[in-house]
Amino acid sequence: MHVGIIELTTVLPGLEGKPTAGHQIADWLLRAMPRDKMQVFPVGGGMELPDIARCDGFVISGSGMGVYDTPDWMEPLRGFLLAAKAAGKPLVGICFGHQIMADTFGGKAEKAALGKVIGVRRFRIEGVDYPAHVWHQDQVTGIPPGAKVVGVADHCPIGALEYEFPAWSVQFHPEYTEDTILAEITAACPQFVPEEILHAAVKEISAAEVSVDLMAVKAAEVLRGGYSADLSGKAKT
**Active-site residue set:** 95, 173, 175
Radius of gyration of the chain (CA): 16
CA distance 167 to 184: 28
User: In Å, what is the CA distance from 170 to each residue of 123, 133, 191, 232?
Assistant: 10, 11, 26, 15
Q: How far apart are the first and last CA of the chain?
A: 16
CA distance 172 to 120: 9
- C-beta separation of 55 from 2 below 8 A: yes
